[in-house]
Structure 1
Amino acid sequence: MNPVVTPFRALHHTDKPLLLLPNAWDHASASALAAQGFEAIGTTSLGVAAAAGLPDGTAATRDLTLSLARQLGAGAFLLSVDAEDGFSQDPDDVAELARELADAGAVGINLEDGLGPVALHAAKIAAVKAAVPDLFVNARTDTYWLGDGGHAETCRRLDAYQQAGADGVFVPGLGDADRIAALVKTLDVPLNILYSPLGPTVARLGDLGVRRVSLGSLLYRRALGAAVDAAADIRAGRPPRGLTPTYADVQALSAEGPPRSVGASATR
């Protein structure tokens, strides 16, 4: 059976530029990104965890992730949720989470294998697709992120996830252009790559056949860096550099109705 072509799925299968998916960590960051015209926004598990003083990748943020999805699910954008490994080793529990995320308004879920058993991750994917067929499952393998890479092992894992029903696959840490192009040729579903300032540009990734580029925790980490830089500038007697939205700009991000772009009243 062919999957239903939802608006989010369509963004992965059009001839227009690839899907650039920025990742938010709270309501304000998502609203600010939506105001810049991004049709789809993801969440970042690191941002959600770190904002609450919790470690990422330890299944500690299931409730926080679901709560954020409920805040963002009715927004003027398509929402994809980073759910680590599903916060459980039980495929039925992961499927229940997927149902709750879909009920909250999410249209996609990102599930990572953490280099765990291939069969278990495939079972999670199959359980999610059986429970919520229209939810876009982006199946991540960590062969490059946590392992030593390797085309054969990456292909073995991704093939199993495709067979289980994944709508797209994600290989963070892969930045070599030739390896990306070779991997694209083996896939039946769209490839998602994690953007790196040191890697290929978004345009180049599109030329290589990549259909989705995620920013992951980059924006959250940049925001932290900007806050520290601003405090250091003020301490040193300098005006803070960079864009500074006004109080009214930030207030507007929480107002009902379409999000408003942050104003030009910036301190540089």
Structure 2
Amino acid sequence: MTTIQQFNELHASPELLFIGNAWDLLSALTLEKAGFKAIGTTSWGIANSLGYVDGELIDFNRHLAIIKTMADNINIPVSADIEAGYGSDTKTIVENVLRIADVGVAGINIEDSLKNQQGLRTLREHCDILTHLRTALEHRGYKDFYINARTDTYFHEEQPFLETLNRAKAYVESGASGIFIPGMTDHQEIRELTLTVDVPINLMSLPGLTNCTILKELGVKRFSFGNALSDSIIAYLTKHARRLMDTRDTSFLYEE
């Protein structure tokens, strides 16, 4: 079984897929060892680990190399967060996704946010990208490569639900394997969406939206924590680095 097939089966399982978000090889290996069944990279975490903020500021080749290192060294599927595709035109985005598929990942997250200005791509523009991606991947031999279409309506719209529902249906028709909606937290809206959209729905952890069992009952098929773990690790490192300098004593490093 290929990693792409394995990844698709995880989404088809009766169990919710709790995916671990990694930002380097160490974090990916640690999450694998802890028992996670798949890894999703976090672009925010990768950017922070290299001294950048999120937003496609890293050279794409450098980002690709980090993704490849994870895919080469762990034994569970890897899905790559590629933000909006690292390109201003469909051709470049398609080429980038094919390069990502070639390093052995099982899927991608691709979002509809614009990077050089505020707002979202138009529905037609993003559907066109998804259609070209699916066609190019099929021609390259990547049947059922997992395209997790992320919509950022909850970050940009005052009343996002109907626009989210409209975009989700259109993205599925354009070739998306699943729909990712960060920022969505209302249980009634989540339930309505999972009953209406006939592909796996992926939500992201936020305060008040943390429990896999509850989300499974609402029909959610995939749950991720984005940059929350990497942010927590950075906060821990910052706190203890300051403590080392303040106390000039390393004894606390050996406390359990």
TM-score (norm 2): 0.87
SS at match of 1:23: strand
How far apart, CA to CA, are the structure 2 residues paired with 1:239 and 1:162? 54
1:107-146 → structure 2 map (5 Å cutoff): 107-114=106-113, 115-132=120-137, 133-146=143-156
Counterpart in the other structure of 1:56: 54
How far apart, CA to CA, are the structure 1 residues paired with 2:47 and 2:159? 26
How far apart, CA to CA, are the structure 2 residues paired with 1:99 and 1:138? 15
RMSD, matched Cα: 2.1
Aligned structure 1 segments of 4 or more residues deviating by more than 6 angstroms: 238-241
How far apart, CA to CA, are the structure 2 residues paired with 1:227 and 1:54? 17
SS at match of 1:145: helix
Counterpart in the other structure of 1:147: 157
How far apart, CA to CA, are the structure 2 residues paired with 1:64 and 1:130? 26
SS at match of 2:164: helix
- Contact kept in structure 2, 1:69 and 1:105, CA below 8 Å: no
Counterpart in the other structure of 2:255: 267
Alignment-mate amino acid for residue 95 of structure 2: E
Q: Structure 1 residues 54 and 168 mapped into 2: Cα distance closer, same or farther (>3 Å)?
A: same
Deviation of 1:61 (Å): 4.1
Counterpart in the other structure of 2:68: 70
Deviation of 1:169 (Å): 0.2
Compare the two structures and name the one with the higher helix fraction.
2
How far apart, CA to CA, are the structure 2 residues paired with 1:122 and 1:143? 15
Counterpart in the other structure of 1:157: 167
Identity %: 33
Deviation of 1:8 (Å): 0.3
Counterpart in the other structure of 2:194: 184
Deviation of 1:239 (Å): 6.6
Deviation of 1:146 (Å): 3.2
Structure 1: runs of 5 or more not aligned: 245-265
- Contact kept in structure 1, 2:146 and 2:177, CA below 8 Å: yes
Cα distance per residue 1:87-123 (max 9 Å; x no partner): 1132222221121111101001000001221111111
Asked if 1:95 corresponds to 2:94, the answer is yes
Q: Structure 1 residues 224 and 59 mapped into 2: Cα distance closer, same or farther (>3 Å)?
A: closer
Q: How many residues align?
A: 241
Cα distance per residue 1:56-107 (max 9 Å; x no partner): 1245442222111211112211000000001113222222112111110100
Q: Which stretch shifts more, 123-132 or 216-225? A: 123-132
How far apart, CA to CA, are the structure 2 residues paired with 1:59 and 1:141? 20
How far apart, CA to CA, are the structure 1 residues paired with 2:191 and 2:251? 42
- Contact kept in structure 2, 1:84 and 1:111, CA below 8 Å: yes
Structure 2: runs of 5 or more not aligned: 114-119, 138-142
Q: Which stretch shifts more, 98-107 or 85-94? A: 85-94
Alignment-mate amino acid for residue 129 of structure 1: R
Deviation of 1:148 (Å): 2.4
Counterpart in the other structure of 2:11: 12
Deviation of 1:127 (Å): 1.4
Alignment-mate amino acid for residue 167 of structure 2: R
Q: Which stretch shifts more, 128-137 or 214-223? A: 128-137
Counterpart in the other structure of 1:174: 184
- Contact kept in structure 2, 1:110 and 1:138, CA below 8 Å: yes
| Equivalent of residue 198 in structure 1, options 187, 208, 220 | 208
Q: Structure 1 residues 73 and 125 mapped into 2: Cα distance closer, same or farther (>3 Å)?
A: same
| Equivalent of residue 42 in structure 1, options 15, 37, 40 | 40
How far apart, CA to CA, are the structure 2 residues paired with 1:240 and 1:208? 47
Deviation of 1:234 (Å): 3.1
How far apart, CA to CA, are the structure 1 residues paired with 2:251 and 2:173? 51
